[in-house]
Amino acid sequence: MLWKQFLVHSSFFTGIAVSASLSHVLHEKREIPLPHEGRRVHGDSIIPVRIGLKQTNLHTGYERLMDISHPSSPNYGKHLSKEEVHSIFSPAEETLETVKSWLLSSGTVSESDIIEYENKGWIAIDMPAKHAESLLGTTFYELEGSNGDVRIGCDEYYLPVHVSDHVDYIKPGVKLSPPLKKKKRSFGKRASRAGKASQGGHTLPHVQPPNDPSWALPPAAKGLPPALQNCGVNITPTCIKALYGLPDATHKQPENAMGLFETSDTFSQEDISLFFQHFATNVPADTKPKVISVDGGSAPVAPSSSLNGGESDIDLDLAISLIYPQSVTVYQVDDLPNSSGETNTTGFLNTFLDSVDGSYCSYSAYGITGDSPGIDASYPDSLPGGYKGKLECGTYELTRVVSISYGEAEVYLPKPYVERQCNEILKLGLQGHTILVASGDYGVASFPGSNGDEEGCLSTNTMNGTIYNPDYPAGCPYITAVGATRLYPNDTVHDPESAMQVNLTAFNIATGAGPTSEPYDFFATGGGFSNYFKPAFFQAEAVASYLEKDLPFQKLPYYEANADGTNIGENGGVYNRIGRGYPDVSANGAFLLTYVNQTQGTFFGTSLASPIFGAVVTLLNEERTAIGKGPIGFINPALYANPSVLNDITNGSNPNCGSEGFQASQGWDPVTGLGTPNYSRMREYFLSLP
């Protein structure tokens, strides 16, 4: 923020813009000049020049990931160490030297002015604007936003030919400096996926599940064991095991503990114990997860705590009951809800990623180094109750599988921020981690209230809340996004599932729990197309073939997102037809009867699906470990190459934003992805891979 104090002294200044010499080349140019109204930055103002060095491996990262994750590659499963990944993504020594000697030869920069960031991705120099202008052959202007933000930037800049090849880009430049004052967003960050549908009386031991009174035993269920007769209205671990053919777990291998990301919401031991007593009697009631406190996060809480909203409880109910005796690790991230770690921030994964990969704390990519103040929590936190320690960097080991039941609208976050974070997820894939995320519960919208829209849809001047609002991190191509499926009341576990769609008001009225308020009353599995990312090569064919299908969604107008993702809704379009499609896979997310605050309630959502799929990957990893093989790691390329290991879900859709959304169909679709697990087929396939 160095330039802030100098900018206030800046005034209109007519200096000499240095024209580019023949040995210089245009490095970046804006298509439309800045609306700067001639407010040139004063020549003596100190501006923070940040030179992003070209990390050629940002572009080869994808090939490397395919090399170890694609089943046809001879190097499948040969994951890299943390150190190997770190060094691959640092720029070459030659790059650093070239840029430094150019700066020193200018005569205006001395060795001691140059700050190099730890991982060599970024060079920083604070210098008078006139020197920066001369170095870059440009003129810097300041721009004031309507909300008082001040940013600086230029229309174009030049670099010597031999330097240009080594520089990604320079800030401030065509990319403006960050704003001085950030506009507060209308909606915070986290979308808890738990749809709490009903909450009946108080706790009674061994009560029967409160089924929908209109429910009648499906004719086909008559011959089934009692525990499998009502899975269409009350999903249990027993039902899930039958649906997907999951074995009873037997392994307890410390290297295969399964991770759950939790933030703000916190589990209660009493609640999960009640779940085991009633619905997973193979799990001793006092079974506890291992809790890792990241930057002041703390767990568990008393059942009656306002932090116990159900999200963490259900994640743990499902993960533990499907993999026990294997253990579960909870990463409880960020300090208390009213601390700075939880307010005025729109990002939520960076502090977690910092804590499990120390190199990420200072990693530079896409013009950003380290966490983004104003987007991420920052530590130490001076607020009462805040975490007073330093930001945790590389303090903890990351489990092989991590499930994240949180998300937010992708457009809340600047594209470079999202790209840098998604690149970190790629790097974790290179190291053999499987990162899963719930794809959202509001169909083609994000969380209700997102972007100032009641349903969480996007708007332009001419379109009020009708544009689809894709979710993040589901839109990152290197994460495994998990959608939700359901059975209908007349179904048994042997019937095909449909996309999860449920009218919570209707369900609550039927079960006597009273209505749920709009717009939270209608759940539909989240899916669609990212505005920031294109389909990765391994997904491209699946997406292209969906887009050729004769389905109702073809009537929807669409647009093609530009490189900055700034033309959302162009020409009246409601979705980005060239985006990465999500989810990748799905699993059951309906009618989970469980206990929160020691009270029975039925839960819906992709929050259930993500830990279920994570448990499946954990079981497969255990079987691979038992025969001396490594973890599966990034699983998507193998699944897209061999989708028959999943049950294709072909019924249902994910409406919202005033239209029908997308339809499930044969093959991949942006509703249920490739489908739900068939464990025996997955086992055969993944055990055969090296």
Ligand X SMILES: *[C@@H]1O[C@H](CO)[C@@H](O)[C@H](O)[C@H]1NC(C)=O
Q: Which residues contact ligand X (rule: CB under 6 A)?
A: 184, 218-220, 244-245, 304, 306, 338, 340, 343-344, 383, 464-465, 488, 490, 498, 501, 503, 505-506, 509, 521-522, 597, 647, 651-653, 678, 680-681
Q: How far apart are CA 344 and CA 229, in angstroms?
A: 48
Q: Which of 54, 33, 28, 130 is nearest to 366 (CA)?
A: 54
What does DSSP assign to residue 413?
Answer: S
Query: Nearest to residue 677, comparing CAs of 630, 628, 642?
Result: 642
Nearer Cβ to ligand X, position 281 or 304? 304
Query: CA of 222: how far to CAs of 227, 228, 591, in Å?
Result: 11, 10, 20
CB of 23 to ligand X, least distance (A): 47
> Is 312 known to be catalytic?
no
Q: Distance between CA 671 and CA 654 in Å, rounded?
A: 6
The three-state DSSP-derived secondary structure of 561-612 is CCCCCCCCCHHHCCEECCCCEECCEEEECCCEEEEECCEEEEEECHHHHHHH
CA angle 284/289/294 to nearest 5° reads 170
607 is catalytic: yes
Max CA distance (Å), the chain: 88
How far apart CA 317 and CA 369 sit, in angstroms, is 38
Q: How many CA atoms within 13 Å lie on the side-chain side of 148?
A: 5
To ligand X, the closest distance from the beta carbon of 488 in angstroms equals 5
Alpha carbon 436 to chain centroid distance?
9
113 is catalytic: no
Cα dist from 59 to 91, 369, 423, 453, whole Å: 12, 18, 10, 36
Straight-line distance from the first to the last Cα atom of the chain, in angstroms, rounded to the nearest whole number = 50
User: Residue 309, annotated ligand binder?
Assistant: no
Smallest distance from ligand X to CB 101, Å: 43
Q: Which is nearer to ligand X, 395 or 490 (CB)?
A: 490
| Nearest distance in Å: CB 610, ligand X | 20
Q: Which of 112, 161, 113, 105 is nearest to 134 (CA)?
A: 105
Measured CA to CA, the distance from residue 348 to residue 282 in angstroms comes to 35
Q: Considering the complex, what minimum distance in angstroms separates the CB of residue 222 from ligand X?
A: 10
Q: How far apart are CA 514 and CA 501, in angstroms?
A: 19
649 is in an annotated binding site: yes
Helix, strand, coil tally for the chain in percent (to 5): 30, 20, 50
Which one, 509 or 578, has the nearer CB to ligand X? 509
Which residues, 6 or more positions from 358, have their beta carbon under 8 angstroms from its beta carbon?
393, 394, 395
Q: Toward ligand X, which CB reaches closer, 49 or 596?
A: 596
Catalytically annotated residue among 607, 653, 659, 665: 607
- What is the spatial distance between Cα 200 and Cα 76, in angstroms, rounded to a whole number? 50
In the set 262, 265, 271, 315, the catalytic residue is: 315
Phi, psi of 61 (to 5 degrees): -55, -40
Q: Of these residues, 265, 271, 311, 354, which one is catalytic?
A: 311
- Shortest distance, CB of residue 500 to ligand X, whole angstroms? 10
**Chain residue at closest Cβ approach to ligand X:** 245
Residue 648 is labelled as binding a ligand: yes
Q: Rounded CA gap, 148 and 358, in Å?
A: 35
Q: Report the catalytic residues.
A: 311, 315, 607
Annotated binding residues for Ca(2+): 648-649, 667, 669
**Binding site members:** 648-649, 667, 669
